[in-house]
Amino acid sequence: MPEVRDGVHGRGVVGEGLLTSGFTRIDGVLNCEGVGIEVLAREVGTPAYVYSSAMVRDRYAHLDGALSVLPHRVHYTLKANSNAGILRVLREQGAGVDVVSGGELFRALRAGFAGSDIIFGGVGKSADEIRSALTAGVLLVNAESEAEVRLLDRIAGELGVTAPVGLRVNPEVTVHSSHRYIKTGEKGAKFGIPFDDVLAVARLTAELPHTRLVGLDMHIGSQLFRLDPYLDGTERLVGLLEQLRAEGIDTIRYLDIGGGLGVAYEAEQSPDVERFARALVSRVAPTGLTLIMEPGRFIVGNAGMLLTRVLYRKHSGGRDFLVTDAGMTELLRPSHYDAYHRIEAVTPRGGQMMADVVGPVCESGDFLALDRAMDDAQAGDLLAVYDVGAYGYVMASNYNTRPRGVEVMVDGDQFAIVTARERYEDLVRLELDEPEWRQG
Ligand SMILES: Cc1ncc(COP(=O)(O)O)c(C=O)c1O
């Protein structure tokens, strides 16, 4: 009987849930589902992002199941990972999507989502983006200011449609998150409508001829583990709903509480979504509204791994450096958010080392891990950087004219490249060798 070990260091993944990792070691050999990682790296090269379909399905089903105590919709947030392979898996599961740009709307429609499966959000929507969203017939446009509501009304009028508007409220609650860049629901944030202004904007939305107020929305932050800010925010939204209903504004159908559920990168315990759903019931059920969640990280965060090869091992200033073929261009999170990602040798040599795992980019901020106690590794070895399914590839860049790596979906014992590795020609495709000079 081979020894099967959870690749996520044998830890349980979510609260009391049954979620398993898509990455396991069988007799010491690292696999993604039924595919050996060494084999996969030989086939597709590095850097490579490897996603487990089973884990994406599992996470979605887990959250969807937990929320089934209420009328609800789960709209996966594309900004976490907009790959068509991931979208295909989630569409088959029955998910809706949440997009924050015209580009993400384009991707969602291209992946086969109907307009009515799409929520369009974002703090700075252009008129063109609003036009595209209304033309696509989206379920909701989550508006973030009075000016945006007025623009929605004008464009809807021009198109001869009624804009289904959700108001993104800043509930101004205390948010506990690992980094200040991923808090969005506190007073003074650029996101949402300041709490004290919401009623006035709601009345306006109800009055304008081409807008219909159908939702109240919040998104308070990301990588959240405490449930109280969600519950506090939900209560604030319900309070607004009651005031509006008392004034005779009775068109609201959706209560959208955003995304933000945390996942384990190190030893964290993800929120227990069953308990979360039970806590929401008493607050949301009496309203008769449909609850919406917009999870990104929770669905895909742990479902992806970045495979990178050690190019050089060097010693400098008393430190050991592993210089890898992936760095901040492939995974910005360590540099941008001080984020921790576990790193293992795909085929461990047996020893341990203290290392700075750094990329090839000409920046001191280009690293995957600093001062890390990890598997001993040498030039040529493959490293697995875990939990890169969310905010990995989507934040990758071509800085230093580095082509972005390949994205691979694994499903059982099969794998497929879902995004090809960029070539140098791809990086200069839009540059004009003979620009047309015009009179200024
Ligand atoms: C409006 C909105 N909804 C949902 C999300 C998804 O957040 P997460 O990936 O933390 O679930 C984000 C991400 O920041 C967002 O801005």
Domain ranges of the chain: 4-52+301-426, 53-300
Report domain 53-300's class.
alpha beta
pLDDT at 2: 42
Find the 293 Cα to ligand 1 centroid distance in Å: 10
pLDDT at 17: 45
d(CA 342, CA 237): 38
* Cβ atoms within 10 Å, residue 98: 32
Buried b (16+ CB within 10 A) or exposed e, 244-275: beeeebeebbbbbbbbbbbbbbeeeebbbbbe
**C-beta separation of 201 from 146 below 8 A:** yes
**C-beta separation of 255 from 241 below 8 A:** yes
pLDDT at 21: 82
d(CA 243, CA 85): 43
Closest CA to 122 of 79, 172, 176: 79
- Tokens 């509480």 belong to 257
Measured from the CA of 80, which atom of ligand 1 is nearest?
9
Best residue among 60, 86, 294 to mutate for probing ligand 1's pocket (most ligand atoms within 8 Å of CB) is 294
The CATH number of the domain covering residues in 4-52+301-426: 2.40.37.10
What is the 3 state secondary structure string of the chain? CCCEEECCCCCCCECCCCCCCCEEEECCEEEECCEEHHHHHHHHCCCEEEEEHHHHHHHHHHHHHHHHHCCEEEEEEHHHCCCHHHHHHHHHHCCEEEECCHHHHHHHHHCCCCHHHEEECCCCCCHHHHHHHHHHCCCEEEECCHHHHHHHHHHHHHHCCCEEEEEEEECCCCCCECCHHHECCCCCCCCCEEHHHHHHHHHHHHHCCCEEEEEEECCCECCECCCHHHHHHHHHHHHHHHHHHHCCCCCCCEEECCCCECCCCCCCCECCHHHHHHHHHHHHHHHCCEEEECCCHHHHHHHEEEEEEEEEEEEECCEEEEEECCCCCCCCHHHHHCCCCCEEECCCCCCEEEEEEECCCCCCCCEEEEEEEEECCCCCCEEEEECCCCCCHHHCCCCCCCCCCEEEEEECCEEEEEECCCCHHHHHCCCCCCCCCCCC
Look up 32 and say whether it is catalytic. no
**C-beta separation of 302 from 13 below 8 A:** yes
Residue 374, strand partner residues? 353
> What pTM did the predictor assign?
0.94
For ligand 1, atom 14, the nearest C-alpha belongs to 222
Find the 182 Cα to ligand 1 centroid distance in Å: 9
Ligand 1 proximal residues by C-beta, below 6 Å = 77, 79-80, 98, 121, 219, 222, 258-261, 294-298, 390
- At 431, phi and psi to the nearest 5? -85, 140
Structure tokens at 96: 């809706």
pLDDT at 4: 43
For ligand 1, atom 16, the nearest C-alpha belongs to 219
Catalytic residue among 362, 373, 430, 432: 362
- Ranges in the chain, pLDDT < 50: 1-18
pLDDT at 281: 96
pLDDT at 9: 32
Q: Which residues contact 164 (CB under 8 A, 6 or more apart)?
A: 138, 139, 140, 141, 212, 214, 215
Q: Counting beta carbons within 10 angstroms of the beta carbon of residue 414, is it exposed (0 to 12), middle (13 to 18) or buried (19 or more)?
A: exposed
For ligand 1, atom 4, the nearest C-alpha belongs to 259
Q: Which residues contact 211 (CB under 8 A, 6 or more apart)?
A: 149, 152, 153, 156, 162, 163, 165, 205
Closest CA to 121 of 251, 331, 294: 294
Residue 194 gets the label, from left (phi > 0), alpha (psi -120 to 50) or beta, of: beta
Find the 13 Cα to ligand 1 centroid distance in Å: 20
Find the 294 Cα to ligand 1 centroid distance in Å: 6
For ligand 1, atom 5, the nearest C-alpha belongs to 259
